[in-house]
């Protein structure tokens, strides 16, 4: 491989500075944070820094304050947590679980599952999954969802996994030059190029009144632990404020590649009655659409967010 090797850290490949091999910086905790202790939850990490399976909890039982505090702590530590065998979980329990983090926030583009706040994502031969692009839910809103709680209702016998990428690692592994370049930049997020692609002009104009384009910093601070996170994603981030069209496109094309680095990711294989809860600011996710024409049905509740800084 014709690469110039100048340090023992991540090495640039050819002329693409973000495509590097070698050592990665992978921090599970925010700088200065202490390793949390758990009394109720059993934690089985799926990677050293993102994703853990949790045992010892039946999510259809009432969630007391001690359990709620441990769940919040586990999500902050692992960024996405998984539960299996939650057959008793009904929409009312699903809502109670999401309420551990805050009130539900409806997705304006997903149909409701019959319960307010619960979206149904049903994919089959007629409706193929289109969440197979790295994204953060609702980044096109002024206060993007803090998290999402997804449960599997019907899963294909093989395939249909979901992946998450740690956007703290995505930021940490940028070059110092890139970090300095993006530190004070903001980006526009807009649902029209993705969700709007199948709508009529009239429908777009209708939605536009309540969902205009919004701006967020390119590097946000996590609302709970202050950690720096790269906050641009492929479907919803449309341009970088203050740059020419070409500069903006080139910079975004480079930054969105970070979510694709395997060491920043975790992959989860769904079984019937699995649940995933993710920190939607600290991660992006990608629903693998490899099960066509088989059916996959999920129910999701997004947790209302706060403006990002
Ligand atoms: C989503 O993008 O929220 C859906 C994830 C999934 O269906 O796995």
Residues 6 or more apart whose CB falls under 8 angstroms from that of 73 comprise 36, 38
Is 300 annotated as catalytic?
A: yes
Domains and CATH numbers, the chain: 38-303 (3.60.130.10)
Q: What pLDDT is stored for residue 18 in this prediction? A: 59
pLDDT digits (tens, 9 = 90+) for 169-182: 999 999 999 999 99
Confidence of residue 9 (pLDDT cuts 50, 70, 90): low
Q: Which residue has the higher pLDDT, 11 or 195?
A: 195
Give the separation between CA 42 and CA 53, rounded to whole angstroms: 8
- Which of the following is catalytic: 28, 216, 285, 296? 285
Q: What percent of the chain has pLDDT over 90?
A: 83
pLDDT digits (tens, 9 = 90+) for 62-100: 999 999 999 999 999 999 999 999 999 999 999 999 999
Give the separation between CA 206 and CA 77, rounded to whole angstroms: 40
Is 222 annotated as catalytic?
A: no
Ligand 1 center–CA 162 separation, angstroms: 7
90-93 contact pairs (CB < 8 A, 24+): 90/60, 91/115, 91/118, 91/299, 93/59, 93/60
Model's pTM, two decimal places? Answer: 0.94
Give the separation between CA 222 and CA 76, rounded to whole angstroms: 10
- Which of the following is catalytic: 28, 93, 94, 135? 135
Give the separation between CA 127 and CA 111, rounded to whole angstroms: 13
Pairing of the two strands 80-83 and 52-55: parallel
Chain mean pLDDT for the chain:
92
Which ligand 1 atom is the nearest neighbour of the CA of 121? 7
């Amino acid at each position: 491989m014709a690469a110039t090797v100048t340090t023992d850290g991540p090495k640039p490949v050819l002329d693409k500075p973000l495509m590097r091999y070698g050592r990665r910086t992978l921090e599970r905790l925010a700088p200065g944070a202490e390793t949390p202790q758990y009394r109720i939850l059993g934690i089985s990490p799926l990677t050293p820094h993102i994703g853990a399976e949790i045992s010892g909890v039946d999510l259809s039982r009432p969630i007391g304050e001690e359990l709620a505090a441990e769940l919040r702590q586990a999500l902050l530590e692992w960024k996405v947590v998984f539960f299996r065998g939650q057959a008793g979980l009904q929409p009312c329990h699903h809502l109670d679980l999401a309420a551990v983090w805050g009130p539900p926030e409806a997705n304006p583009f997903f149909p409701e599952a019959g319960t307010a706040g619960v979206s149904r994502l049903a994919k089959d031969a007629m409706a193929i999954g289109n969440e197979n692009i790295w994204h953060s839910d609702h980044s096109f809103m002024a206060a993007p969802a803090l998290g999402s709680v997804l449960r599997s209702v019907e899963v294909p016998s093989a395939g249909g996994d979901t992946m998450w990428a740690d956007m703290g690692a995505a930021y940490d592994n940028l070059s110092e030059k890139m970090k300095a370049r993006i530190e004070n930049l903001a980006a526009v997020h807009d649902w029209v190029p993705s969700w709007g692609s199948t709508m009529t002009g009239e429908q777009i104009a209708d939605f536009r009144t309540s969902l205009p384009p919004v701006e967020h910093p390119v590097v946000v601070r996590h609302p709970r632990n202050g950690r720096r996170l790269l906050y641009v994603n492929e479907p919803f981030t449309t341009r970088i404020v203050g740059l020419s069209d070409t500069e903006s496109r080139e910079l975004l094309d480079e930054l969105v590649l970070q979510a694709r680095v395997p060491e920043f990711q975790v992959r989860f294989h769904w079984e019937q009655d699995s649940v995933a809860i993710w920190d939607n600011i600290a991660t992006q996710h990608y629903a693998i659409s490899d099960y066509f024409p088989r059916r996959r049905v999920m129910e999701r509740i997004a947790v209302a967010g706060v403006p990002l800084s």
